[in-house]
Amino acid sequence: MGIGDPDQPTPDIVIETMAEHAARPDTHRYPSNRGRQSFRDALARFYHRRFGVSLDPESEILPALGAKEAVLNLNLAFVDPGDVVLASDPGYPVYTNGPILAGGEPVPMPLVPELGFEPDLDAIPEDVRRRAKLMYLNYPNNPTGAVVEGDLFERVVAFARENDIVVVHDNAYSELTFDGYTAPSFLATPGAMDVGLEVFSLSKSYNMTGWRSGAVVGNGDLVSAYWQLKTNVDSGMFEALQEASAAVLDSDQASVRAMCDLYASRRDTLVSALRRMGLDVEAPRGTIYVWAPVPEGETSASFTERVLEEAAVVISPGSAFGPSGEGFVRMSLTLPDDRLNEAAERIASLVPG
């Protein structure tokens, strides 16, 4: 239960479209880094239909080889040595490792339960604001499962304008939500297109982690600057994969709804088991993870080790996602039902430490 790698198959429409276009010689040559028109158009249609966001396919969409490379490479595009990058803490480790590789300084923005796992923008020191170039956000949030309901995005836009910061919203889990919650795009926030980018990934929503398909979308000038870097990093996305990605984006999204139902059922199974163990666990309304506090007297590492040794189940210590993750563990729902049920029962049988 340590890694968030979907166990279900990729939708048939992706495989069938990929096979069809992989057999066509016109997809075998170097692709354009700008991306196929069909892919960019499909993503623009998806964003308009799903989020109410209008994107120009010519200037505001750029294919990415999955979200991970985009998150890292954005540092190389915008961060100079000595610049500060504000990063969600806990958060995806690339938010802090990427700035280091670019010579920047990652500064964590603590996400704590008392604030609904939202950053306290007012607590960011003035000298840090002056040096900051990028801010990484991610909702629905990995690892906490937190979602955005209030005015966080509006406050982030105002903060970014005031401090001349580029906001990067990692939108990897927007389609995987439960209990009637629908996740917004950061770019739907008034003013967000002036200050930000969004990294969209097909990996988790469509069981395509191995396919490496995503996009950087948003402010045209920022997309153009990112493209200048990308032309020197890789030779673009396989065009058959772009066609397959376009097909699933234009589909009826029935596969996504089925995945949400499956993950909601698994979430309920795991949360119930953890509560039987005596842990005060909140059922997340997004992502494919459960973020659970460790028993009293334990640390993230000690509880992770005990679960491994006594229950033979692998989970992730919260401290691996940043200092503010201490005191929690992350458990992935990407196991077949029978295995997840067994893991949940093994964990529930543990005597609190």
Residues 239, 276: one domain? no
- Are 178 and 264 contacting, i.e. CB atoms less than 8 angstroms apart? yes
Report residue 348's pLDDT band, with 50, 70 and 90 as the boundaries.
confident
CATH code of 153's domain: 3.40.640.10
Report residue 353's pLDDT band, with 50, 70 and 90 as the boundaries.
low
Domain that holds residue 24: 12-249
Is 353 a member of any domain?
A: no
For 211, the token pair is 């396919």
Domains contained in the chain, number: 2
Of 209, 108, 217, nearest to 168 by C-alpha is 217
The 10s digit of each residue's pLDDT in 157-202 is 999 999 999 999 999 999 999 999 999 999 999 999 999 999 999 9
Beta bridge partner(s), residue 137 = 169
Tally Cβ neighbours within 10 Å of residue 62: 25
The 10s digit of each residue's pLDDT in 248-262 is 999 999 999 999 999
Residue matched to tokens 């499956």: 262
Final residue belonging to a domain, choices 249, 272, 302: 249
Residues 169, 72: one domain? yes
The 10s digit of each residue's pLDDT in 90-136 is 999 999 999 999 999 999 999 999 999 999 999 999 999 999 999 99
Is 274 a member of any domain?
A: yes
- Are 306 and 298 contacting, i.e. CB atoms less than 8 angstroms apart? yes
Residues 178, 324: one domain? no
* Alpha carbon distances (Å) from 28 to 62, 69, 196, 238: 20, 22, 34, 8
Residues 170, 296: one domain? no
Tally Cβ neighbours within 10 Å of residue 264: 18
- Residues contacting residue 334 through CB under 8 Å, at least 6 positions apart: 3, 4, 5, 6, 7, 288
The 10s digit of each residue's pLDDT in 27-73 is 999 998 899 999 999 999 999 999 999 999 999 999 999 999 999 99
The 10s digit of each residue's pLDDT in 300-346 is 999 999 999 999 999 999 999 999 999 999 999 999 999 999 999 99
Residues 59, 77: one domain? yes
Residues 69, 181: one domain? yes
Helix axes 67-78, 94-101, angle to 10 degrees: 40
**What pTM was estimated for this model as a whole?**
0.96
Q: Which residues of 211-244 are buried (b: 16+ CB within 10 A; e: fewer)?
A: bbbbbbbbbeebbebbbeebeeeeebbbbbbbbb
